[in-house]
Amino acid sequence: MRGALIVLGGNMLNNRKIRLMTKLAVFENKTGKEDISLSKYYKTDYVRYQVLKSIISATVGYLLILALVILYRLEFLIKNAVSLDYKTIGAYVLGIYILIITVYGLGSLAWFSFKYDASRKKLIRYFKLLKRLKKVYSEEMPES
Amino acid sequence: MMSLLVFRERVKNFYQRNDIYLLPAIKFIFALVAFGTINAEIGYDERLKSVPVVIIMALLSAFTPSAIMVLLAAGITILHVYFVSPVLSLLVIAIMLILYLMFARYTPRLGYVVLAIPILYVLKIPYVIPILLGVISIPMAIIPMSCGVILYFIFQVIKTAITMQINKTVEDILLVYTYVIDELTGNKQMIMTIVIFALILLVTYFIRKMRFDYIFEISIAMGTLTGLLGFLISHLILGGNSNIFMIIVGMIVSGAIVFVINFFRITLDYSGVERVQFEDDVYYYYVKAVPKVTVTTPQRNVKHINANNEDVSSQSIPSEYSDEDMDEYDEDEDTYLDNNNDFMSNRRNYNRNKDIDS
């Protein structure tokens, strides 16, 4: 047995295992929390989900901005309610909306794929430690 | 210099031993300052200003994630505004929502920046944030920073708007509303500030990324200089409704503050004492993992004695520091074990290990 053993009242504590488990636990509790929750998704699923979320939030934000603008122009709008060229206004509003959605969609596509890859890289070390822990377990088993 | 370094080591030791108490304490003080400034600036509702309320909220944010503090701060500002003018509070909510949905949600960990900018603006040193973020963060931090600047200017406008609100007919409300929007969209100073802050952050960040001695100090100095130049130019373009002398002083003080923070940053970057619990088939483990400090202290001090002033570069690689540590561990774990270099060892166990191994 290569791992260190301390005999305490007939029970066995595997120091090496404790060490590995402590490292894993520290990582899981602190820096790795987000990375581990990310690793439950496939990349495409994760990115798609995030893009969808940011498109929805951008839509809500745009609607809010639109409401503020309408309120701001309210007097003008009411005065010229009959003579307004609704077609052009509608086209404008829709055009800007499509522009914003495209920018946010593409932007979050790039950002969240980058984020996913970065978190994968951070997890490599974690998986390495896990593998080592597995080895320790399999070494331990025959003895007990 | 030497005694300063020793002092830093002491601070680090102290921090590592007590970070479980220190962190909430620091957060509590931050929260107290934040809520205090909000109350002083737009404290219209006396009930929210009372000491027990403020202390309870500060305590709450001391023991919860930083997002709670930001939320609480947003909440009390909205309530304060609501107390005088419900319509304006609606506007504030709408603007905050827009800022969150369109921008701030992409950098969730930097939420406190949005809160810190207006607070530090009141304290006349908002320039700490762009320089500091340039040193410790990534260019994405421009997003929450700009949101913070916008929020500050919104509240400046709202403070004047509240004084002009007379009675509550629909026309008056619309008038106040258009006034606020006019002031906001036509506010060249706000846009200028956002641009300059972004510039400071980028300059500091990209200089910091270069590799030579004293790079952190140089990048902080350059960031400060960029800010000084930027605000001087904006002052010349926009004319003098801002007090340029105060800006210069604030800028220099901010640079100095970041300098001090950077000096102690290795301390703050360090993970303190870790308390974790886990289990295997046989046991529950409650482990307290204490990082070794005694190893690093002599190393760093020796460097400074020998090199006198030349080689301070060793102190400016905090991020790589922990990485190297881990890599070394990864590559040859067994030698690491035998070196008595691992973070949980205590001497008794170590001796025993040796006995068993040999």
Shortest distance, CA B190 to any CA of chain A (angstroms): 19
ipTM: 0.77
In chain B, which residues have their Cβ closer than 8 Å to the Cβ of A132?
333
In chain A, which residues have their Cβ closer than 8 Å to the Cβ of B104?
none
The reported pLDDT for the residue numbered B297 is 45
pTM of the model: 0.76
Give the CA distances from residue A105 to residues A45, A47, A115, in Å, rounded to whole numbers and listed in that order: 15, 10, 15
Report CB contact under 8 Å: B101, A57: yes
The reported pLDDT for the residue numbered B274 is 76
Structure tokens at B331: 């590559």
Q: Most B CBs within 10 Å: which of A26, A59, A77, A127, as the mutation test of the B interface?
A: A26
Domain limits, chain B: 2-271, 301-357
CA-nearest residue to A65 within chain B is B98
Mean pLDDT in each 10-residue stretch from start to end of chain B (358 residues)? 80 77 89 92 87 92 88 92 87 92 86 90 92 91 93 89 72 83 88 94 92 87 94 84 82 93 69 77 83 49 51 44 42 39 41 42
The reported pLDDT for the residue numbered B19 is 76
In chain A, which residues have their Cβ closer than 8 Å to the Cβ of B278?
21-22, 24-25
Q: pLDDT: is A74 or A96 the higher one?
A: A96
In three-state form (DSSP H/G/I as H, E/B as E, the rest C), the secondary structure along chain A is: CCCCEEEECCEEEEHHHHHHHHHHHHHHHCCHHHHHHHCCCCHHHHHHHHHHHHHHHHHHHHHHHHHHHHHHCHHHHHHCCCCCCHHHHHHHHHHHHHHHHHHHHHHHHHHHHHHHHHHHHHHHHHHHHHHHHHHHHHHHCCCC
The reported pLDDT for the residue numbered B222 is 94
